[in-house]
Structure formats: C-alpha cells, structure tokens
Structure 1
C-alpha cells in the first residue's frame, strides 16, 4: 500500500509540474531577477530546461489486468515510468486471492535485460507512444 501511495504522490507531482510548465508560470521562489534580459540568454535557459526535462520520467503508462482466472476486477497492474530515452523502470503488482506481489524491472532504451511479461511490454509500448 505504501508503494502505491508513493507512486500516486509521484504522479500528482509530475502532473503539477507539467501544468506549471505548460502554463508558463514561474517556478516557486523564482523572481524576474532570475531571468536573463537578452534573447540569447533566454535561448540558453530554454535549451538548459529542455535538456533537463529529457531526463524526467515523462512517459507513463499503466496496464491493468486479471492475473488469475479466479480473480476479477483488474486488480493486477504494470506501470512503466520512462524518460525520453526510454530509460526507467516497470513496476508490477500481481494480486492473488490471498496475497499480492510487487516486482520492479529496470528498462534502458525501451527494453529490459530481464524478461518482461506481456503486460509489462504493453506498458512500455504505451509509455513510448505517450507524449507530454
């Protein structure tokens, strides 16, 4: 449960950051004095922000499914959290009748050294298509 809450908090924070960036509002604590006055300085600032954003986990996708025939409700899930290069992690929670198991697999360049389940592969594929 704590992992799920942490993931939810991360997603909310990422969504808030994305909204702030899209709306053009300054970062908390930023003042007009922090911005360069010339166009070349602004271009450098934008380039630096784009380079920084490339490493952010911006490609997200969740696939929900029934891991076992006797279980319904799509209680199992795989979540892909990836940056622009396809590096990140796939988190999977498999819910059974009496227990739940959670797995984490690293992803580099949109693939993993560890074998991905069909649902994990689907989450990575959906995350790759996700544009922010």
Structure 2
C-alpha cells in the first residue's frame, strides 16, 4: 500500500491560517466588547460597594430590610394611635345663621356646632339684638344635650355631621 500525502500549496495553507486567525480575532473583539458591557453593568449593580462579595452584599441588604420592617411596624402603630385620636378631635363644624328677631332685619344670629366623630362637643349660639349679642354654649354628647336645643342649634349639629 502506498501512502498518499496530500500536497497543499503553502500559499493556501497560509491563506487558511490567516482566515482562521482573522475569525478568532473578530470573536475575541466581540467577547471583549461584551465583557466591558458586563463589567459596566456589574459596577452599576454593585452601586459603589467596592470589592465586597455577593454574600456580604446580600447580608447587608437583608439587615437593611429587617430595619425597614421594624420602622414600618413602628409607623403602623403610630398611625393606628393617630387614627384613634382623630375620632375624638373636634373636626366637624356646622354653622347656621338666622334672624332671631324679625324687626332687626338680617341674619346676624348664629349657631355653631363643633363636634367629633361621636357627635360630642359643644354648640355655641349667638343671639344678636339691636343693642347686644348674647353668647350661649351647650355641651353635646352623642348628638344631644342635657339642655334644650333650639331648632337652629339642631340644624348646626346636622350641618356638622354632613361635613364629616
């Protein structure tokens, strides 16, 4: 048996080797560009954490998360306390103006109800006459008073509940 050796001209071998080197060079440049993008992304993700490893970063983030959870719980408790206090705030105000005496000619008398969510507070009435204005205050509990309420005072109480 005779052995045959392929005879390829040297120019063709050099051309093929050059082509392969060129392809490897293009692949290497593409990989280098991707590596730079990955490096920039990693640096951005690390946010200036320096040379810390991922385990340290995750542990730090977990500590921060636990701190946030504690603060959130404290804020929820404070908000609950504020809501409880708000029900007793006198934030419902109703005003009713009227003419107490037909001969004076204008609505200078008034009733003002200042109540909380439970319809407790005070109703103030100012009766204006030609010479004086008299001011009366009546305590209100649950929308009523132990003193007789005038229709104008009841209207002011009604108007205060409409605003809430």
Q: Same fold (TM over 0.5)?
A: yes
Partner of 1:26: none
Q: Distance in 1 between matches of 2:79 and 2:105?
A: 48
User: Does the 8 A contact of 1:110 with 1:128 survive in 2?
Assistant: no
The whole-number CA distance in structure 1 between the counterparts of 2:142 and 2:82 is 22
Q: Kindly state the Cα deviation for residue 72 of structure 1 after the two structures are TM-superposed.
A: 2.1
Higher relative contact order (CA 8 A, sep 6+): 1
**Other-structure match for 2:97:** 64
Give how far 1:37 is off: 5.5
Rg comparison, structure with higher value: 2
Which stretches in structure 2 are left out of the alignment for 5+ residues?
1-68
The residue aligned with 2:19 is none
Shift of 1:115: 0.7
Runs of 5+ in structure 1 lacking a partner?
Answer: 1-35
Q: How many residue pairs end up in the alignment?
A: 96
TM-score, normalised to structure 1, is 0.69
Q: CA deviation at 1:52?
A: 1.2
Show the counterpart of 2:159.
126
Q: Shift of residue 50 of structure 1?
A: 0.6
1:67-78 to 2 correspondences below 5 Å: 67-78=100-111
Moved over 3 A (4+): none
Deviation at residue 93 of structure 1 after TM alignment:
0.3
Deviations 1:48-83 (A, max 9, x none): 111111111111011001000111221000000001
